[in-house]
Amino acid sequence: MPRLLPWFVVAALVAGACGDFPVATPPAAAGEAAPLASLPPLNAATTTTTTATTTTTTTTRAPRPSVVLGFAGDVSFTHGLDRRDPLGDVIDLLSTPDFTTVNLETTVAEPGVGRRVAKTYIFKSPPGSIDLLTSAGIDAVSLANNHTLDYRRDGLLRTIELLEAGAVTHFGAGEDEADAYAPAIAEVGAWRLGFVGFTHVECGWVADDPTLWPEAAWACPGFEDRTVAAVAEAAGLADVVVVMVHWGIEKDHCPQPYQRALGRAWVEAGADLVIGSHPHVLQGIERIDESWIVYSTGNFAFPSARGPSAKSAYFTVAVSEQGLDLDVIPIELVGGRPRLMSPGPAGDLLDDLGRWSFGFVVDGDGGVVPGEASGACD
């Protein structure tokens, strides 16, 4: 299958960016998941054979045309980024796939909506942010992250109102627990996609009382079974199940043991893709049976990205009857705005991503292929 927008044909200027992030306290590790059961091939062509006394009739369904999905990391239009055409340099990149999803790491609401929570970093983007998403070709957002409730329930519900008015699919948070964990279903070509979103960040909010903050779909200790049930529900409704999850340690390129355990549990429950965010840097890739786990997609449009947090990627997944093919397109953030990375730095980033991965490397065209790098995260 042809690669989507190969990076090596694009030359881009390289510049610095600004801002920084606090370092989060590592969450407690979860126990190791049970060994995987063998999963059937994804959507293999169906053949039905009926045998009578004298004849045999065989019918074969025609293969469905493939579709391409796009995934990017943290997006927030705060600190005036909304006024600087934040996605203007990547519109072609975002709109080429058939369906693109990002992590919306901000409340979106008017200035007077909601009461801010008591913490250091609070994100609220203006209502016009929804137009920025849709005009750039972004189709869906995960709301499962540690900023979706920065302005409490009122801020979240206003965010959802604005997303729905803009026809943007959303998941991972909602009016109540059932709404938060419910899968969002999208029809893309001949494929039915199921999306669920979870957050493992701000686990202290629900550590003492699990009934607090029911508007978010938590993946914290004590909520793991709820996440597995949500994945299984999505698997019963969709051809391809995508988990978007907020987890890990900021600025750490290696996943924690609990991330790998949760990822495996979700794959066993029916997830085909697990797409992570929160560290603000890239983390590696793992494949379990026929399913892919991208532990962190890094930043995408984020005003304070600089240094390692300004080096990121856009991930595309070609979905066909033969399975899922994963590709990586290196990007860089300049002043919080994403753009394609120039070939030299892009090659270095792809090499690094292979070093942080598990049994896979990334070739010069961005394709994720079997191979052993240095195993920096083993």
**Span 73-82, pLDDT tens digits:** 999 999 999 9
CATH of the domain at 110: 3.60.21.10
Query: What are the backbone angles phi and psi of residue 163, rounded to the nearest 5°?
Result: -60, -45
236 in a structural domain:
yes
R_g of the chain, CA atoms, integer Å: 20
8 in a structural domain:
no
What was the pLDDT predicted at 59?
Answer: 58
317 in a structural domain:
yes
Looking at the predicted structure, is the pLDDT value of residue 56 above 70? no
Q: How confident is the model at residue 58 (pLDDT cuts 50, 70, 90)?
A: low
Q: Which contacts qualify for 360-363: CB closer than 8 Å, 24 or more apart?
A: 360/285, 360/286, 360/287, 362/285, 362/328
Q: Which of 218, 228, 217, 306 is nearest to 268 (CA)?
A: 228
Q: How confident is the model at residue 378 (pLDDT cuts 50, 70, 90)?
A: confident
Q: What is the DSSP string of 140-209?
A: EEE--STTTTTTHHHHHHHHHHHHHHTT-EEESB-SSHHHHHSPEEEEETTEEEEEEEEE-S-THHHHS-
**Span 310-360, pLDDT tens digits:** 999 999 999 999 999 999 999 999 999 999 999 999 999 999 999 999 999
DSSP for residue 336: T
354 in a structural domain:
no
Mean pLDDT of all residues in 145-159: 98
What was the pLDDT predicted at 62?
Answer: 87
Q: Could you give the dihedral angle defined by the CA atoms of residues 253, 258, 262 and 263, in that order, rounded to the nearest 10 degrees?
A: 20
Q: How many domains are contained in the chain?
A: 1
**Span 94-131, pLDDT tens digits:** 999 999 999 999 999 999 999 999 999 999 999 999 99
Q: How confident is the model at residue 299 (pLDDT cuts 50, 70, 90)?
A: very high
Looking at the predicted structure, is the pLDDT value of residue 46 above 60? no
Beta strand spans in the chain (E): 47-51, 56-60, 67-75, 99-104, 107-108, 124-125, 140-142, 169-171, 184-188, 191-199, 240-246, 273-277, 282-288, 291-297, 299-301, 311-320, 323-334, 337-340, 360-362, 368-370
Mean pLDDT of all residues in 59-63: 77
Looking at the predicted structure, is the pLDDT value of residue 8 above 60? no
Q: Which domain holds residue 112?
A: 62-342
369 in a structural domain:
no
Mean pLDDT of all residues in 31-53: 35
What whole-number distance in Å separates Cα of residue 146 and Cα of residue 372? 34
55 in a structural domain:
no
What was the pLDDT predicted at 281?
Answer: 98
- Cβ–Cβ contacts within 10 Å for residue 355, how many? 15
9 in a structural domain:
no
Q: How confident is the model at residue 13 (pLDDT cuts 50, 70, 90)?
A: very low
238 in a structural domain:
yes
